């Protein structure tokens, strides 16, 4: 019985239209046209995780600005974060 190619699963997924990512050595995962090098790693590109959204009430009292976690109904600030990196993607002021 023949031994399947080391990247057989990824090759089949690529043939079915999946986006394949490659990692060679210490490089990051990158989208590319795979060459199926036996010394590289391949994977199906994972689905991105959804953003995390948080709502706050921000107020000022004479000198201090402060924020409190709040429900959507009462909030005046909406912050959207990339869940994978923790980076702030957007900030929106909600008019009351």
* Position 30 confidence tier, pLDDT thresholds 50, 70, 90: confident
pLDDT, residue 64, reads: 66
**DSSP-based helix, strand, coil % in the chain, nearest 5:** 10, 40, 55
**Are both 15 and 34 inside the same structural domain?**
yes
The Cα–Cα gap between 57 and 61 comes to 13
Provide mean pLDDT across the span 58-71: 68
* Position 82 confidence tier, pLDDT thresholds 50, 70, 90: very high
**Residue-number span of the structural domain to which 57 is assigned:** 52-93
In this structure, is residue 39 part of a structural domain?
yes
Give the Cβ contact number of residue 35 at 10 Å: 9
Stated as kind and residue range, the H or E segment containing 66 is: strand 64-69
Q: Domain count for the chain, please give it.
A: 2
**Are both 89 and 69 inside the same structural domain?**
yes
In this structure, is residue 29 part of a structural domain?
yes
- Quote the mean pLDDT of the chain: 86
């Amino acid at each position: 019985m023949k031994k399947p190619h080391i990247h057989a699963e990824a090759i089949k997924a690529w043939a079915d239209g999946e986006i394949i990512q490659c990692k060679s050595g210490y490089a990051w995962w990158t989208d590319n046209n795979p060459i199926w090098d036996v010394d590289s790693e391949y994977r199906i590109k994972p689905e991105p995780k959804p953003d995390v959204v948080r709502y706050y009430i921000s107020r000022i009292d004479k000198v201090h600005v402060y924020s409190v976690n709040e429900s959507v109904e009462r909030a005046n600030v909406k912050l959207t974060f990339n869940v994978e990196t923790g980076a702030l993607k957007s900030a929106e002021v909600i008019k009351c």
